[in-house]
Amino acid sequence: MTVFAFDQSDPENPLGQLKDEDLRKIPYGAAELNAEGRVVSYNDTEPEDNESGRTSPVGRDFFGDVVRWAGSSIIAAEFRKGVTSGALNVVFDCASARLPYKVRVHFKVSPILGTYWVFIKRLRRTAETPQPA
């Protein structure tokens, strides 16, 4: 396996070339977590919501404070299992009654930094098709 490490100032880092306003337009959210599940860094894909006084998630418990809808689910359990084993590469498509949309959650390990990435993409909820009686 080949691992490419990009520093923020690396000219070949494709994300490093984006302006903040363009970075916010990426169709998924990304958060870097430590082994305890605390947020190390993130991209804010919902900056318009930040005007309501929302605080930064950096340093907070990802499952307990940031995405509480996933805290007691198989998603958090798989994260802990992946941290313990050192192998984390799992994808979930899920829906929560607390969210108006479905999400795809992808966990990946960052072998160079010793941290873990979670990518969350909004998916559209499709209308239920009525079943014939």
Residue 101 in domain: yes
What single DSSP character describes residue 90? E
Alpha carbon distance 107, 103 (integer Å)? 13
Residue 21 in domain: no
Residue 109 in domain: yes
Residue 64 in domain: yes
| 61-65, 100-104, 113-117, 126-130: range with highest mean pLDDT | 61-65
Give yes or no for residue 31 having a pLDDT over 70.
Answer: yes
Give yes or no for residue 43 having a pLDDT over 60.
Answer: yes
Residue 1 in domain: no
Task: Identify the domain containing residue 110 by its residue range.
Answer: 26-123
Give yes or no for residue 129 having a pLDDT over 90.
Answer: no
Considering its fold, how many domains does the chain have in total? Answer: 1
Query: Which residues, in sequence order, are CB contacts of 5 under 8 Å at separation 6+?
Result: 112
Alpha carbon distance 22, 7 (integer Å)? 19
Residue 73 in domain: yes
Express as a percent the part of the chain with pLDDT over 90: 14
**Residue 108 belongs to domain with CATH number:** 3.30.450.20
The mean of the pLDDT values for the chain is: 75
Residue 39 in domain: yes
Give yes or no for residue 19 having a pLDDT over 60.
Answer: yes
Residue 117 in domain: yes
